Amino acid sequence: MDITLERLVWQRAKSRCEYCQLPQRFSPLPHAIDHIIARQHRGPTKAENLALACFFCNSYKGPNISSLNPQTGRAVRLFNPRKDRWSRHFQWNGPYLTGRTHTGRVTIILLEINRAEAVELREYLTREGSFPPTE
């Protein structure tokens, strides 16, 4: 991936994970550029298929593009930062991210966005006035 494309992804995301919104400066591990549609599924390395993801969201997401809704057992596509509006699918409830849609809910579950250590970090950052992002 060329440096120009990397910079575009970082700038577009404002150096925040496009899934859980954690800014890189507060992350214990480096953020990575995620192929929304994985290369193994023929996803291109182009701006419209790339998103900035924290280490944990990127790791849990892997090559997945969907997950099963635990209530219905049906496949539901994951949140796509290039095609979906974040606020349509998610909202903050204190340090917990909640899903407004099936897509939001399955994304939160698969990416384990509300795992204990992430909630604890967000609680701390919220008390400090550094989280959630306002824009």
pLDDT in tens, 12-24: 999 999 999 999 9
Give the tens place of pLDDT for each residue, 23-65: 999 999 999 999 999 999 999 999 999 999 999 999 999 999 9
Q: Which residues contact 125 (CB under 8 A, 6 or more apart)?
A: 26, 131
Checking if the pLDDT of 135 tops 80, the result is no
Checking if the pLDDT of 123 tops 70, the result is yes
Tell which residue, 121, 94, 91, 95, has the closest CA to residue 29: 121
Helices (H) and strands (E) in the chain, counts: 5, 6
For the chain, the domains span 3-128
| pTM for this predicted structure | 0.95
**For position 133, what pLDDT does the model report?**
86
Structure tokens at 43: 């996803």
